[in-house]
Amino acid sequence: MDLWKIPLSIFISIALVGLTGCSNGQDSRPSGVLDLRQYGARIQAWSDPVVSYNQIAFLSNQYLLVTLNQRNFTQSVELSKTDLPPSLLLLYDVSQNAVVSSTKIQVEKESLSIQPLANTQFLLWNRSGFRVCGADLACGKPILVESDGPILVSPGGTSFVVGGYGENQTVVASSSLMKTGRYSSKDSPLVPGDGAILLRREPEQELILKRDNMPEKQLPFIEGSGSMGYLLSSRFLNETTIGISEADESLLVADVEGRPLYRINVYPWYRGTALLTTALGKRFGVRDSTYTPWNSFIHFYDFNRPHNVERVRIYEVETARELFELHWDPRPYNNRLALPALSPDGHHLALIRHGSLELYDIP
């Protein structure tokens, strides 16, 4: 079809829809902003050889850990697994809106290579293994675990799982660092909860709940869609509630007894939809991405272009009441965006946008 034959009124309608989709949509001004470019953060074009594995994680309601973890692909042959060059860790004090300490340390060039634990600690993955670190940014000796990364942590930080991507996974108690379970690839992928784990059993894709000292329970759901490849996109929201990626554009929230509670519409999971959890378990977030109608219309042939809509919504677990929404055009960004983070009480949201760390207060 020749574009010049399309009536002008249709072009105007499409343009207006595109402009509406591209509007910033910011619901509130950030309470704190930190330009990460002064610390070396790169925000180049989609085709830039720098790949970002940047991460942010609340260690407490006061302290936020920012990890600038970037890799420059400049050689024709590169190591598939590496923790070089060293990453920069920044400890940000929310009450002061300032960086209070920093250090450089080797961190695996992968997503989910740093995750928060309970008691203002965090778990770090590099080529030496897994190490527990504190708010002073000092890390202990590597933990002896047979699995490789990535790291998944329960909402309360009391347990974590290492391994995945089709390989064995190991469950570890955060307080004692004792291994509490090891699961083969047929019983994985799995995600940890506080006192439970959720696993998907192949080939039927059954979701199985295993709670401490109780027989396993098959839930009447399957993970029908996901955005994390060999890892589950479903997550525990607290000890009694699970968020399940049941379909491309649907999030199911159910209790651990298998009763559906409510559903939330999301942008397609395969475009990077992810759940944000809190230690207190009363709130959770949804991060998703898509294209505006206008962008989809004029770039229908390009399946590898960057998303031009990024959205974060915060909900109350018990009632499904939406507490906060923010959406924006994230471009330019280089290959991947850092996942936003919620504070343990769910009253602070942190995200990286256009090279800056932004903090939002959620009443």
What band does 17 get if pLDDT is binned at 50, 70 and 90? very low
Q: What's residue 48's pLDDT?
A: 65
Confidence check: pLDDT of 15 > 80: no
What band does 76 get if pLDDT is binned at 50, 70 and 90? low
Cα–Cα distance for residue pair 321/253, rounded to 1 Å = 13
Question: 76 vs 191, which has greater pLDDT?
Answer: 191
Largest CA distance in the chain: 70
- Residues 116-167 pLDDT 10s: 999 999 999 999 999 999 999 999 999 988 888 899 999 999 999 999 877 8
End-to-end CA distance of the chain: 51
Average pLDDT, the chain: 87
Cα–Cα distance for residue pair 115/150, rounded to 1 Å = 10
Nearest to residue 67, comparing CAs of 13, 28, 115? 115
Map out the domains of the chain with their CATH numbers: 28-361 (2.130.10.10)
Q: Contact 312/340 with Cβ under 8 angstroms? A: yes
For the residues of 127-152, what is the DSSP string, one character each? TTEEEEE-TTS-B-PPB--S----EE
Alpha helices in the chain (DSSP H): 8-22, 293-298
Q: Contact 289/309 with Cβ under 8 angstroms? A: yes
Could you tell me the pTM of the whole model? 0.90
For the residues of 289-311, what is the DSSP string, one character each? EE--HHHHHHTTT-TTSPPSEEE
**Omega before 85 cis (within 30°)?**
yes
Cα–Cα distance for residue pair 138/110, rounded to 1 Å = 21
Q: What's residue 284's pLDDT?
A: 98
